[in-house]
Amino acid sequence: MQSNGLKEKNKIRDRGNKDLMGNEKEYLSDMRDNYAKAHGDLFLKVYSNEFRDETLKNKVKALKFEKISEEFISIIDKSIKEANKLMHFAVDDTKEVREYHSKYEKQLNQVQNCSKCECIDCAYECKFSSCGNCLSGCRVKDCDKKETCIIESTKTLKLYNDEKERDVDFEILAIVESNAYDKKYILLQEKDNEDNKQMFIMTDGLGDTEYINIENEEELESIAGLFMES
C-alpha cells in the first residue's frame, strides 16, 4: 500500500502534469489561431481573382514564405493532435512548434505583417511604392490613397551619436511616404531614451539611405503632424 505521503506526491505530480498539458494546449491553440488566420487572410486574398494587381502580387514580401507558413501550420496541427490523445505521455508537445517558430520567426512574422497590411485589401490604383518598397518587418498602417502613406515598423537601426561618440539603437516608429513633397520620411526614437526622437528625410531604403534633416519649416510641421496622427 502507498503511504499517505507518497499518495500526496503523486497527486501533486498529476496536477502538475495536467497544468503543463493545459498550458501546452493553450499555447498551441494560440499559435494556430494567430498564424493560420494570417496565412489564410494573406494567401487566399493574393490568389483570389479579386486581387487587383498581378504585378503587385509578385512583390508581396511574404509570398516567398508560403511553404514555411504551410509547414508551420502542419506542425502545429500535428502537435495539437498529439496533445489531445487519450494515452498521452509526459512529453513537451510544443517542442517542435517552438523550434520551428524560433528558426523561421522573421519569415512567419512577415506573413502576419503582410496579412494585416492595408495594401492587401486596397482596390485603388496605387500612387505609392506599396509592396515594391516594403521592408521586412513593416506594413502599411494607413493610406489616404492620394497624398500620404504611413508605414508601421518593428525594426531597429543604429545611428552614430556625436555626443556619446558611439552607435545608438533607434526604434523605427513610422515611415511616411508623401506625394505632396515627393519624399519619404522616417521617425525614430532612441531605444533607451524615449524623449530622444529624430525625424529625417530618407533618400533610399533603410540599408542604403542617407538621413537628411528637414530644413523647410512648413514641411517639417506638416510631416510632424502626420507622425502625430499615426
What Rg, from alpha-carbon coordinates, does the chain have?
24
Question: Does 55 share its domain with 106?
Answer: yes
Write out the residue range of the structural domain in which residue 99 sits. Answer: 4-116
Q: Are residues 28 and 59 in the same domain?
A: yes
Residue pLDDT, tens place only, 125-136: 778 876 765 667
Give yes or no for residue 45 having a pLDDT over 90.
no
Q: Are residues 41 and 61 in the same domain?
A: yes
Whole-number Å distance between alpha carbons of 151 and 184: 10
To 10 degrees, the CA torsion angle through 156, 162, 165, 171?
-10
What is the percent of the chain with per-residue pLDDT over 70, rounded to a whole number?
A: 77
pLDDT digits (tens, 9 = 90+) for 154-167: 788 888 777 777 88
Listed as own residue / partner, the contacts of 147-150 with beta carbons closer than 8 Å and 24 or more positions apart are 147/178, 147/179, 147/180, 148/176, 148/177, 148/178, 148/179, 148/180, 148/226, 149/176, 149/177, 150/174, 150/175, 150/176, 150/177, 150/226, 150/230
Note the Cα 144 to chain centre separation in Å: 22
pLDDT digits (tens, 9 = 90+) for 61-88: 888 899 999 999 999 999 999 888 766 6
Domain final residue pick, 116, 150, 173: 116
Share of residues in the chain with pLDDT > 90 (%): 20
Same-domain pairing of 211 and 139: yes
Within 84-157, residue ranges assigned H as helices are 95-103, 105-116
Domain count for the chain, please give it. 2
pLDDT (tens digit per residue) in 18-42: 444 568 889 999 999 999 999 999 9
Predicted local distance difference test score (pLDDT) of residue 9: 37
